Homo-oligomer: A and B are copies of this chain.
Amino acid sequence: MFSPMIRELMESLRCLPGVGPRSAQRMALHLLERDRDGAVRLSAALKQAAEGVGRCQHCRTLTEEKVCQICANPGRDEKLLCIVENPSDVMAFEQAGGFSGRYFVLMGHLSPIDGIGPEDIGIEQMLKTVADNRVDEVILATNPTVEGEATAHYIAEELKSLGVTTSRIAHGVPLGGELEFVDGGTLAHALAGRKKVEI
């Protein structure tokens, strides 16, 4: 019963993750009834970003610049390279603070079932970066999932011959979490990875 333009708006909003038919209707009517300026601004931002955002030449993260702000920062240690799956992982590390090296963003993980191989996640470019910059240590910070672990393992194998130190971020019980709410896999991992307490 909604007019064609409103129906098209509702259907288009479904491309957003987590937005079903009910939320799409609520969003479309909210914008049309109360925030047309917001709708126009969002329209422009979507078009600009969809057409303008590419990849950083060095680390592959999403950016409209040739080189992202982190890669362009001469203060970041190029001997230390942290490999992550997604741009949001870079953000998570930056917000946590304490890391002064550089990143390499795979923009995914190995997934033979989906036909995603090493060439799709920039492995060759990463190996070249490690060699060119004479990187001392590569930190594998892919997700603690089956695919993330497999990807980390594959990269570690590839790095072997380059004589670079390779490390994996620690997995275990999250700080501030209560044991009873931690899933079994994490708990088993935390137990197996226990460290001697020095006193």
Which residues of B sit under 8 angstroms from A9, Cβ to Cβ? 45-46, 48-49
From the candidates B6, B25, B41, B88, name the one contacting A12 in the complex (CB within 8 A).
B41
Whether, in the assembled complex, A181 has its beta carbon less than 8 Å from a beta carbon of chain B, the answer is no
Please report the C-alpha to C-alpha distance between residue A9 and residue B50 in the assembled complex, in whole angstroms: 10
Counting every copy of the chain, the complex holds: 2
Q: Nearest chain-B residue to A23 (Cβ)?
A: B18
Please report the C-alpha to C-alpha distance between residue A85 and residue B41 in the assembled complex, in whole angstroms: 27
A84-135 interface (Cβ within 8 A of B): 86-88, 90-91, 94, 107
Q: A33-B107, A107-B33 are in contact. Are A6 and B63 (CB under 8 A)?
A: yes
Which residues of B sit under 8 angstroms from A63, Cβ to Cβ? 2-3, 6
- A-B pairs, top 5 by smallest CB distance, nearest first, are A15-B38, A43-B46, A12-B45, A39-B50, A3-B63
